[in-house]
A and B are shown apart, each in its own frame.
Chain A
Amino acid sequence: MTEAKPKKMMKMSTRENLAGWAFISLNFIGYLAFKLIPLILAGVLSFSKWNMTTSLSTMTFVGFDNFVKMFKDSFFRTSFTNTILYAVVMVPVAIFLSLIFAVILDRYVFGKGLLRLAFYLPNISSMVAVSVIWMILFLPSYGPINMFLQSIGVANPPKWIYGKDTSLMSIMLVGIWQRLGYNIIIILAGLQGISQTLYEAAEIDGANGIQKFWYITIPSLRDTMFFLIMMSFISSFQVFTPVQVMTKGGPGKSSYVLVYYIYSKAFEGNELGYASAMAWALFFLVFIFSMGRMIFQRRKAE
């Protein structure tokens, strides 16, 4: 009679690791297929010349030509500058306004729920539909905004998206309007996490409203603000839909932004290599900014 061999048991930690891998595999496969592999392919494409209307066999290696071309391309330079300008203006203004509205909504108004919904609605609306409506609102001749401005005595109201000097600013306005709701919800969550005892202690010490806001509210929202600034900058660098729908980069090239230019080069000009190089430039812009902010935050925490 032979002795039965004990079942070879997998180690507990191995089993748990496998289970963990199995769980993340869903997300990981999607990440590989739709994010990492395309990202790597875009990197390869950025060093090549390939017109998308032809087969892959026509792709040629061009070294750093696409990156050199970027700096000579006036459309790229304008798009890059406009993108930075859009982010630098849009993010602080949107966050500042959101903070004010959030504080008001948190403490000083009735019908908070309804107002929160009203502010949040633009964020869940289709940007395409919203942009088309803004195009009508911005009409210089008989758009509601200019009709109102004229009714209060503004003789020469702006041309908004239809003017070279005002098109980018108008797109920023739409961006701020849409971003407010999201920012307000996040800030409201942060506000509700601040302990009331801090305010009560400040009151006992004789602090006024502004002092409480400045010395308690703002520092307590530091992490929330950091998150919002990060997310807002990243999404601002990727602004596309309002430009595509409302101005197509015009008039002239006054409202060209990076993602719109990348799109037009890739899918209208079919220059996949050049578009990929610009996409990598955009990636580095976001990456450098994100790293800078993270280092700054870490040092501050230390």
Chain B
Amino acid sequence: MKQFKKLAALVLAVIMVMSLAACGGGSGSNGSTAAPNTSGNATQAPQTQAPGGSEAQTQAPAGEGEYTVYFYAWTNPDNMKTLLAAFDEEYEGKYHMEYVKLDDAKTLTINTALASGSQIDVMTQASSMDLRVRADEGTYEGLKQFFDKEGWTYADICGEANEATQNINGDYYAIPYCQNINMIWFNKKLFDAANEPYPEAGWTWEDFRQTAIRMTSGEGENKVYGAMMDYAGGDGDNYWDFIARQKLGPFTYYNDDFTASAFDDPAFAESLSFFYQMAVVDKCIVPYDEYSAMQYSNDTQGMIGLYSDKYAMWMAPVYGCLYTKPSYGEVPADADIGMVDVPTVDGGKTVTTVYTSTASVPSSAPNKDASWEAIKYITILHPEYFAGPKAMHPGIDLKTDEQKEFFNSIIFSDKPGVDYDMCMANMAMDRTLVSKDNTVRQGQVEMNEIVKEHTTLVFTGDESVEEALKAMKEEADEAIANSSN
């Protein structure tokens, strides 16, 4: 019996050690199946393991002499198949692309992959702050050199709005692969039932408010709100500062030289007061508590709330229409969703906000030319393969009406319940875009905490607009000063 116990203990110990070794051996030990093919030799049969141990999506094995490009992103692997096939076909004999799906856990998986030295040729990032930090610390390759080689300028390819936010000390460390333009989605069925005309571009914020008041009806759990927007408290976007952004332009939270915050600007008081009035006084917009409890910060829930008649209008990015696809839930047969530009300050040309998702090349990427070809293919040459399936606009500046129509048709087609013609007509209109991307590092993390803290107190009625903005100004200025020291 004693012998058996010893044997059992040793066997179990060996199994434990081997298991631990297997857990930790992802990055370097699986070279036989997934090692980067930097030597130009053919890689082995179909790869199923990415360098960092994550699961890789592959269409076909790398061919003879092909270099394997590893692309890390959060996209659903099903939406990557077309891109991978098209890239491999385009660069047959030269490059082969492997997709590595990152876990949806903030930045943990990509950070781990970066820290462990895994081969990453192109990667996406979770926020502009991550981009800025990595750019400052030399983790990313400057991309201006490649633009120069191509004879392109960043502003011409990606647009002025993106150039303004992506320019970091004269270089560019990321290319937007998609742009999320904010619009107003509305439930046409509710408007028809209320004999309310559909909103049209060029409407003002006061028009929006009055429409929301008229569209609000019922009580308790049967209450239908006129509108819904993301507050700063959840994981979602936030819209309380929309009017300020329209008036002040990019880097809204900062003064001109980034040495202080801009929360004392009257535009912030106007913006926060306006949405406070709608949420707390008029009660015509989904209140903060219901927004949190119903998980409306999740865009899928946002669209479900709209077509389920919980509210008549939804402030959201264009990609909101993606959530009418059957894979996100069954849309009622009579759903009828329209779309219109956001209201304006003065009834003039529409100014709306946009935020981007960007891709970069790590400075550790072994074959920079391959990385450039891949990022160029994904973001500039064929954005329809990556941004398109996600119902997002490309990061590049579409020059012609044909290009715009082609892309819009990808975004709005096959979206049950969405008024395709209305969306196409509205999207074709001219508008000015203000980027919400914040690539300024000074006090940004603290400022986001401060904004979240005080705006949630305003929308729960625990703090006045004046008190909140005064506190935000003082605390944000201190955070900026501390981070500059």
Contacts and interface: CB of A to CB of B under 8 A. Distances in A.
Contacts of A53: 107, 111, 114, 125, 130, 133-134, 139
A58 B289 contact: no
A247 B130 CA distance: 25
A143 B221 CA distance: 9
B401 interface: no
A163 B462 contact: yes
Interface in A254-270: 267-270
Interface in A209-234: none
A135 B287 contact: no
Q: Kindly state the interface size class of chain A when it binds its partner.
A: 35 or more
Contacts of A139: 289-290, 293
Given A54-B137, A163-B462, A19 B288 contact: no
A269 B12 contact: no
Nearest to A26: B16
B381 interface: no
Nearest to A75: B449
B453 interface: yes
Contact of A267 (B108, B234, B292): B108
A190 interface: no
A250 interface: yes
Contacts of B295: 132
A179 interface: no
A252 B107 contact: no
Contacts of B107: 52-53, 267, 270
Interface stretch (B3-11, B259-267, B309-317): B3-11
B445 interface: yes
A125 to B, nearest CB: 18
Contacts of A19: 2, 5-6, 9
Given A19-B9, A159-B289, A267-B106, A252 B457 contact: yes
Nearest to B222: A142
A162 B460 contact: yes
A141 B289 contact: yes
A56 B115 contact: yes
Nearest to A162: B289
A75 B106 CA distance: 21
Interface in A109-152: 132, 135-136, 138-143
A54 B132 CA distance: 10
B13 A22 contact: yes
Contacts of A56: 115
Given A251-B462, A252-B456, A55 B288 contact: no
A251 B133 contact: no
Contact of B134 (A33, A54, A159, A248): A54
Given A55-B114, A251-B233, A162 B288 contact: yes
A269 B453 CA distance: 15
A162 B290 CA distance: 9
29 contacts: A18-B6, A19-B6, A22-B12, A26-B12, A29-B13, A29-B16, A29-B17, A30-B20, A33-B20, A53-B125, A53-B133, A53-B139, A54-B139, A55-B114, A55-B115, A75-B449, A135-B293, A140-B289, A141-B289, A142-B221, A159-B289, A162-B288, A163-B460, A164-B457, A250-B456, A251-B457, A251-B460, A268-B106, A269-B445
Interface of A: 15, 18-19, 22-23, 25-26, 29-30, 33, 51-56, 58, 75, 132, 135-136, 138-143, 159, 162-165, 248, 250-253, 267-271
Interface of B: 2, 5-6, 9-10, 12-13, 16-17, 20, 105-108, 111, 114-115, 125, 130, 133-134, 137-139, 220-221, 223, 233-234, 287-290, 292-293, 295, 364, 445, 449, 452-454, 456-457, 460, 462-463
